Amino acid sequence: MRESCWNTFNRELRIEDMDYNIVQDLANRLDLKDWQRLARALQVPESKIRDISFTGNFPAVNFLWHLLTLIPGVTLSDFRQKVMEIERYDVVEFIDSSLQEFEPERLSKIPKDKQMDLMKRLGEKAAAITKDWKNVAALYKLKRDEIDCIASQAPNCTQKGPMECLIDYFQTSMPWISVADLGLALEALGFASASRHLYNSYMKAA
């Protein structure tokens, strides 16, 4: 078996010292649900994982993650139809102008930055707009308590996704974890490309 590159990595480099740009890049390389597997591998309490699930971005983006977990096969075309039904023509226009090439695809296959742009737009409310992501959630038959739970996210993490909030938790509550620990955990979970990219990011910076 090939030896892991992390076995010779500087173990003194702690996760609390991770550059924020590297954190963001890592978050973009992991799938929407992968951060939970990583959290459990590094023994984050289940209560904290639940907290991050509903504080890891503003509600419209939380709704997207919840929707893709509940209905992983939902397509952009179907989502566009739901947005049309709640008369959010501004969001429909955004889909038609900026996401048209992805319309036959599953929503989960769209690049993450495009997903974020879409949900941020849905989350915005102009003066004349009264319907938002909650109305779309209702069309997908999410239960009222699920919608309320998504909506009750804490306001202090509004610009971060759950992976970034997980790294925040490591940095503040588990500072003994090293970057090598993180890299080895990613490897063990089968995220070889993300682990290798994290390693290379530090090798370039060295």
Q: Indicate the domain borders of the chain.
A: 1-57+156-206, 59-152
Residue 73: count of CB within 10 angstroms of its CB: 9
- In CATH terms, 1-57+156-206 corresponds, of 1.20.120, 1.10.533, 1.10.357, 3.40.50, to 1.10.533
Cβ partners under 8 Å of residue 168, min gap 6? 157, 160
Which residue is associated with the tokens 């909030």?
Answer: 165
Please report, in tens digits, the pLDDT of each residue of the chain (206 residues total): 456 788 888 878 888 777 777 877 777 777 555 778 888 888 888 887 777 765 545 677 777 877 877 787 888 888 999 998 988 888 899 888 888 888 777 888 888 778 878 887 887 766 567 778 888 888 888 888 777 776 765 344 344 667 777 887 888 888 888 889 998 998 888 888 888 888 888 876 55
Residue 91: count of CB within 10 angstroms of its CB: 25
Note every long-range contact of 130-134, with CB atoms under 8 Å and residues 24 or more positions apart, other chains counting.
131/86, 131/87, 131/88, 132/60, 132/88, 133/59, 133/60, 133/63, 134/63
